[in-house]
Structures are given as C-alpha cells and as structure tokens.
Chain A
C-alpha cells in the first residue's frame, strides 16, 4: 500500500504541555466539533474539513490530519498551519491541500470569524445543485436568506488562486453554498459555526423534502424575513453559545477521547 497510508493515530503524541492554554482550549473545541459533525451524520469519509484560528496568533489556524476520520480526531492531532501553508505541528499525517485552500481563503479574508466548517452532505449537495439555491421556506433557512454567498464549482480546490474568488463570493456572509459541491459556514467561534451548519443542513433537508412533495411551497413573507434577520443579528452567537456546553456533555458521555 502507498506511503500515504502509513500514518497511525497512535503515533500522535499529546502536545498539551507545548501549547498555550488558549490554543489548547481551541484545539479541544475544534476536535469536539469534528466529533459532532460525525455524530450528526454530516461527515464524508476523509473529505471536508473544519478550521479554527489559533488565539493570539496572526496568521495561523488548525486543520484536521488527512487520514483520520472525524470520529477519531483529538485535540493533539490537529495540525497548525500558517497562511503560506507551512505546517507548524509535528505530525505523521499530511495536510489536505483542498482544505488548506478553502480554509485559508475564509480566515484570511474575514478577520471577524474564527472558525470555518465545510460539509458534503446528501441534502447540502442536492440544494447546492439547484438553480433556485436555498429557499426561504423554513425558520431554519430564514436566517440565511440574503446572507448566503454562492460559489461556482471549479474542480478540486487545489488552486490557490481560487482563494480570491472564494473570498469574493463569501463576501460578508456567514454561509457559502459551494455549487455542485457542498456547504460552508463560518462563525465568530467554533460553537457558532457548528450551530450555523446544523441549521443550514436542516434547512436543506427540509427544502429537499418540501419540494419533493410536489405541492406548492409557501415562501416566508419578505417583511417577516427582514424581522427574523434583525433578531438573528442581535442574538449573534447566542444559539451556539447556549448549545455548546451540552454538546460537550454529550461527547463526554459517548467518548471523551476528543480531549486528548
């Protein structure tokens, strides 16, 4: 078997003592986020990725080791990388190049967000391939209407020049639909990005089912959409902040090894 497959999670050593307390906390939360994406059936084998900015550092972020499944990711296994692609964590695993392109684009282009989350789910890919895009047909989708960018598919994102187009298409939104490909959210913190992807995923699922029924779909009235947007803006990260400790409690009951 090729050399790409030789790395093993057991070869990852704890780096808790080697990083700042703030970085460790971010690593634990990001590892938890990978486990939650898997738990809520939003993972896609080794594809897709979630990133978080390293607190107190200018140009660095954390990304998954390419070869570990989302339910295996630990705080120590996450790879620190800078915007030039230099790997700053000792690791037996490779970096996913497409992941680096997409996440460095978002974090470089948007100093206000600290976490980016990308999925290839069944319903997310389906909506990403619809000309109509995401419809304002549920409370879940209301928060994203007029606040979601669309990015045309260009192939596997190994071309760093795609970063400019990703930044342009994301704009100042917190969600980006990657056409013919999948979903992306970014958040002011990790819990916020997870909360948004969960809501966007459910919005896509409901849209697929609602449209599939073949009956006329009711779209939410524009004035109601507007007032919902205001409310969501006021509450900012509230949904993510409120839910996060409970997410961690759930993971702790199932398998606390994400904290290693």
Chain B
C-alpha cells in the first residue's frame, strides 16, 4: 500500500505542495546543499508537521519521502529512516507551536539573504518587493546552530504574534504562510528584496527610499490581498515542475 492510500487526501495534497516547494527552491537557486528546511502542518492534525529527510537534496524530495513528526519531536512516519535535521526541528517546531495561524514555514541560506541578515540596517523599504515586509518583519539574534531547544522561546518571542517573516541575523531568511503557496510567494519576494538591496547598497550611492506613508499604504494593499498572490502563482509553478520533473508528486 502506498503512502498516498494511507494518509488523508488533505495530508497528501500538503505533501505534494511541500515537495513542490523544495523543488522550486532548487529551481530558483535558493538551496544550500542539505542545509535549510521547509515545513508544513498536517491538515486536521495541528500537532503534527512534515519536514525533509535529512541528507536528501531539495531536488530529490518527494511527497512520500517527507517525514511526519509531532511538535514534541516524535517521529510518526519516516519511510527512508533518514531522520530530521535537529536545527530544522528546533526552528520549525518553534514557529508552528507558537503560531496556530501559520501552516507552513520556509527557511533559506541564500547569498543575498545572508548578506542582508548581517547588516545592522536590516531590510530597507527600498523596493515594491520589500513593501510586503514594511513594519512586518522580525529579527532574531544569532545564537549558534539551533540545536538547543531553549532557542524556541526566543524564536517565538522574536517572530511575535503577527509577522510572517523573520530575518535570522547572520544566518538567513524565514517566511511563514497560511499555506505552502503563501509562504513560498513571501519567500520569493523577500529574496528578491534582499538581492536588489545588496546591489543598490554595494554601489555606495545614496539611496532613495520609499517614504513611510507610501510604504504603509503599499503594505496595506498587499495585506488586503491575503493569499491571492501566492494562490495565483502556484498552479503555474506546478506546471513548470511537471514539465521539468514530475517526480515530486510521488
């Protein structure tokens, strides 16, 4: 019996979407070997979530190979017996346990993301892309590799009750979403915000930033669209993956 027949249709759909997100991170050059992780809460099982098997590259991840575990760290399903990354467990269980509204968490170590995460100024209101995060991104100080479970409280405190993005200082980016597509859309926007910021600042030229009132107005425009932007883009992302390699859905 395949895993697809064993789990609820909702869990299977989430597995397919999450596996697709791993493949898309690879497509858009946001992977870092076997480092970093994306997670999703299992629908109807608020205390259980899915995480990548440690050692698989993102381009190899499939719906079936994702590990199901509880927020307390008990493994429920691990078909390849690879186990999870300890730091991944710390970070993702922290966010999912601390925020009942969040169903998906994505974390990357990209060149531009790490660069901005190490700047004292943080993310600047410099582009339309960055308006998604105006007064809506949190910062978390680096404490070393996140294998200490005590860090979860600090992660929850720093993310706070509302924001859907967290800059892990000296480390990388994290976005959260109501769904996989929502978190992925935010990740792509945050990544490109960082790329443009690095390019603009590297010139040494004086920056023209978006005035505060316009930033607040635009952030509100994006907030009012809810998950529309992520939803609209997702089917096309899947079509792209289906053309390249549809094995993510197995």
Contacts and interface: CB of A to CB of B under 8 A. Distances in A.
B234 to A, nearest CB: 6
Interface in B58-82: none
Given A45-B188, A122-B195, A158-B221, A2 B236 contact: no
Contacts of A154: 214
B245 interface: no
Contacts of A158: 221
Interface stretch (B34-42, B101-109, B125-133): B125-133
Interface string B214-236: 10011001100001110111111
A66 to B, nearest CB: 7
Contacts of B221: 155-156, 158
25 contacts: A1-B231, A2-B231, A5-B234, A46-B232, A46-B233, A46-B236, A66-B232, A120-B129, A123-B199, A125-B128, A125-B196, A125-B200, A126-B197, A126-B199, A128-B127, A129-B126, A130-B203, A153-B218, A154-B214, A155-B214, A156-B222, A158-B221, A179-B208, A208-B202, A212-B204
A131 B207 contact: yes
Contacts of A179: 208
B196 A129 contact: yes
Interface in A160-175: none
A182 B221 CA distance: 18
Interface of B: 126-129, 131, 179, 181, 185, 188, 192, 195-197, 199-200, 202-210, 214, 217-218, 221-222, 227-229, 231-236, 239-240
Contacts of A182: 128
Contacts of A72: 236, 239
Given A122-B192, A122-B199, A211-B205, A67 B214 contact: no
Contacts of A129: 126-127, 196, 200, 207-209
A111 interface: no
